């Protein structure tokens, strides 16, 4: 049974699980002994290092089991952005080629896009940014056409953080590896929400992020397929297979391992179907309450079970959420100095600025309930009516 979460009591309905997840109390319980008691260095040969060393290995086993990997293929990092940097930068520096070529796509997370831009700026790499279709998906034929003899790495996310769109990773990885290049997949949003197998996907590198799956912020992991040569991102004592020096944060590694085991259990217990039913119920309630005005952004099928991205005609997402304080969710826009700009993900999918600025990302999770969905399905149409009344009174 899932324990109640103390951080969700009495506050707004939380519909922002794609931004971050509450830390599961069972994860907290697992990590606390490694903060209070088991303080030893896992690299120490004496008895104080035994329990931390065992805990670290067990955490690798738990994460490996979630994604169908081997424990020695799991490298702990401090966050998902670091894991993405380790994959991209280290693969490029290990390539030892004249002007290396990297391929990604335009709706990737900034952790990948900004790393690619730094590779262009600092290392003279050539980067191809593949376009996406109206559902936010990469065309496999476009990837095949973009590959060259200098291509060392392709990086495409498993699931988009805004729309939940699921990329055809297995097909993209097959094309890439047949060409002799490495394939990296940022699975920050997908891991724990849908089944993932690195063998079935055929990927060489895959990012898993703790705070997206009910572990604390500040811990992530990179799957590195056996035989893949990477240049270390952090040099020093040789921890993490020589790829990331520094004494490991055992407590956070234990937290991620526990979160991975809990997620694996939920995947077999029907949790994705439960969450998808709540999401789809919310979508139906909104379209019934606002007929003809609610537009789904992203694919109807082939998306994460917890993610609903919609735009409502004639409204700005940030204004709508401000008028619905009983909800905590995200918009499809970014605010800089009071000026809201449309999401690059949505505009890359072909949405015009008005529809992109009207987007809401409503993402559900472990503690979402029918009662919360009822609250959201009532609060949003009421906020629409309140905004209309305010506008007509001016």
Across 186-217, b (16+ Cβ under 10 Å) vs e yields bbbbbbbbbebebeebbbbbbbbbbbbbbbbb
Cα gap 118→124, rounded to integer Å? 9
Give the phi and the psi of residue 105 in degrees, each rounded to 5. Answer: -135, 160
- 217, 64 contact by CB (below 8 A): no
Give the phi and the psi of residue 97 in degrees, each rounded to 5. Answer: -120, 160
Beta-bridged to residue 242, according to DSSP, are none
Active-site residue, 185 included: no
Q: Are strands 13-14 and 327-328 parallel, antiparallel or unpaired?
A: parallel
Tokens of 88: 């991209």
How many Cβ atoms are within 10 Å of 87's Cβ, its own excluded? 32
CA 147, 153, 158, 161 torsion: positive or negative?
negative
**How far is CA 384 from each of CA 123, 153, 264, 327, 334, rounded to the nearest angstrom?**
49, 46, 39, 14, 21
- 278, 368 contact by CB (below 8 A): yes
**How far is CA 125 from each of CA 85, 87, 102, 142, 204, rounded to the nearest angstrom?**
15, 15, 7, 20, 20
Cα gap 384→126, rounded to integer Å? 46
Which residue is catalytic, options 79, 116, 185, 335? 335
SS3 248: coil
Would you please indicate which residues are annotated as catalytic (active-site) residues?
335
């Amino acid at each position: 049974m899932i324990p109640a979460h103390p951080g969700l009591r009495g506050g707004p309905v939380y519909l922002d699980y794609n931004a971050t997840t509450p830390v599961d109390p069972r994860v907290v319980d697992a990590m606390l002994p490694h903060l209070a008691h088991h303080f030893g260095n896992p690299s120490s040969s004496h008895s104080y290092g035994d329990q931390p060393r065992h805990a670290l290995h067990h955490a690798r086993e738990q994460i490996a089991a979630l994604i169908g990997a081997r424990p020695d293929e799991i490298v702990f990092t401090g966050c998902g952005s670091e894991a993405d940097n380790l994959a991209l930068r280290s693969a490029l520096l290990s390539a030892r080629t004249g002007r290396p070529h990297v391929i990604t796509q335009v709706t990737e997370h900034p952790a990948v896009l900004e790393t690619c831009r730094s590779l262009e700026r600092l290392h003279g790499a050539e980067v191809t940014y593949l376009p996406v279709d109206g559902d936010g998906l990469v065309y496999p034929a476009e990837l095949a056409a973009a590959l060259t003899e200098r291509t060392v790495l392709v990086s495409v996310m498993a699931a988009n953080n805004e729309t939940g769109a699921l990329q055809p990773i297995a097909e993209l990885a097959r094309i890439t590896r047949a060409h002799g290049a490495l394939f990296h997949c940022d699975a920050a949003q997908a891991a724990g929400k849908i089944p993932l197998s690195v063998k079935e996907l055929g990927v060489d590198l895959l990012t898993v992020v703790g705070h997206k799956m009910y572990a604390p912020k500040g811990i992530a992991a990179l799957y590195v397929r056996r035989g893949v040569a990477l240049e270390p991102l952090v040099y020093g004592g040789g921890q993490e297979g020589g790829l990331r020096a520094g004494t490991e944060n055992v407590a956070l590694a234990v937290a991620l391992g526990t979160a991975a085991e809990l997620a694996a259990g939920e995947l077999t217990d029907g949790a994705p179907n439960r969450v998808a039913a709540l999401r789809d119920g919310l979508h139906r309630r909104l379209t019934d309450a606002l007929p003809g005005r609610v537009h789904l952004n992203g694919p109807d099928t082939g998306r994460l079970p917890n993610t609903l991205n919609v735009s409502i005609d004639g409204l700005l997402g940030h204004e709508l959420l401000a008028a619905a304080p009983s909800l905590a969710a995200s918009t499809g826009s970014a605010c800089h100095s009071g000026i809201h700009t449309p999401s690059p993900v949505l505009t890359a999918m072909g949405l015009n600025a008005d529809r992109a600025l009207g987007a809401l990302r409503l993402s559900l999770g472990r503690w979402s309930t029918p009662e919360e969905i009822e609250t959201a399905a009532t609060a949003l149409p009421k906020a629409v009516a309140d905004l209309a009344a305010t506008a007509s009174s001016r």
